[in-house]
Structure 1
Amino acid sequence: QRARGQFFEAQLRETQARLFEAGAAPDSDAAAALIHDAAARDLDARPAPAIAVETQRYLLEPATRLCAALGASEAAVIMTAAERLALLRIADDALALDGMIGDTGLRSPTDILVQSMGGIGGHAHIFLRGRDYGGPSRGMYLALIDPQSGQVTQAGVFDLWESEDEAGRMVRFLRNAPGGVIAAFAVADDASVYLTPDVEAELLAFGLERRTVIRRAPAFYGLRHAFAAIGVKGAARGAVLQAWSPEPWDACPARPATCGVIRPPRERAP
């Protein structure tokens, strides 16, 4: 258990190191200053594209949740939209600002931002077209997105903590999806107990891959982990966008997992 706690703490410290360089900040004011400085430096090195107004509106909550995990919950409130975007990009490096969904070769028809917060009371967000398809109920949230129009064709939440029946329902939902469809995934609280082999096979079919280790075996995520992804049905494994983060442990808080795709302005519909 001590080793597990050290691993979880190390992961949070790695996130802090990306932002702070000098490690964890001593208090919330100092943390906020360091977060702002890190975002500004990132934007100097990698300027963000112009951000659509509807996308700007839903950057605040994901950035606020990340700032809270880093000890400065109010920092995101006074950040610009570009700074919030930079903060999320630094933390997970699963934010594509060129409109491309990973290495799939598919350009997203709309901006998509996905965030997962694991642990008791965790929340999920799937933001696109001015709407949040996530929520506070426990389980895996899913939205299927037409790769041409960007419209959500189906959405649902599957409580993989509750029963194997829920796992079967999720398998059918994904298995019946057409090839090439985009899927957004976000866990709220937990979605691991009935993460069955059939469910895992469907995740693999959307280009997701096992990026962590649970009980010495490769896994997508574990108990009360945060997990967010944007996949494409039929994509090669590992070619899509995904992020994960472990649950809280002792004095080490959890942090949200975030991924997204933002299209350059010239590609947006008039």
Structure 2
Amino acid sequence: MDRDTIASRLAGTGYVADRDLSTALWLMDFLKRPLLLEGEAGVGKTEVAKALSALHGAELIRLQCYEGLDQNSALYEWNYQRQLLAIKAHEGEDPEAVEDRIFSEKYLLERPLLAAIRRLDPPVLLIDEVDRADEEFEAFLLELLSDFQVSIPELGTITATSIPRVVLTSNGTRELSDALRRRCLYHYLDFPDVDREARIILARIPGIDTALALQVARMVGAIRKEDLRKVPGVAETLDWAATLAGLGVADLRQEPEMVHDTLICLLKTQEDRAAMPRMVSDRLLAKVEG
């Protein structure tokens, strides 16, 4: 599958990718390497993994990273409650036999990383916001992504049944290690330009007028250039476009009050709402062409 085919099939899932991202996804399959996506919150990094899952008809397995995430939470745990019940049910038996019984597949709880390497068909493994995890977990992750095998003391070494397609995302809250970056392909995902965002709106909101989609994309692009605490992402753009279409708005310039009132779809903090009074939204709206 070449990059043009990838772009076309992604569009069929509702994700409009530019040439650079399509190339990165092609190289990801060609080289069998993980893909690290960096960019501001809201640019659609997580959606890339979802679209990739839809494109290949593969299961999406997601590991949401956070501060304090440890190996057990990401890899596997034992079902301690069931183990305790089994121990009580077999009191008086040989302790070693009981131990062999309770540390078996029956009592193993798969977490995302173990699940991803044990699927018969290769899934898409999304390691979301890897920059939120600490450096110790990152080092463990690097080892897993290098060998695609893990060691469970009670069961031995488990080698991947199939190699998952791995997408890592980062918002840049901390610097990732050079070792992790070397292991991955890299793509920086920026906010879409006006034309691509209009195409995203058209792909994700059936029936919306093309002229309205373009106006919305231009208005959002102008708003992103303002001094805001939280710049609206693509998801906010889609919410706003759907709202306007649902309200029957055909031309933003003809509905300045409606435009201002519905900016709550885009502006998610009190500071940003205060920074966007009616006079500012009217100023931006005046620059929006039909």
Return the TM-score normalized by structure 1: 0.31
Q: Which has the larger share of strand?
A: 1
Q: Which has the larger share of helix?
A: 2
Q: Highest CA radius of gyration, 1 or 2?
A: 2
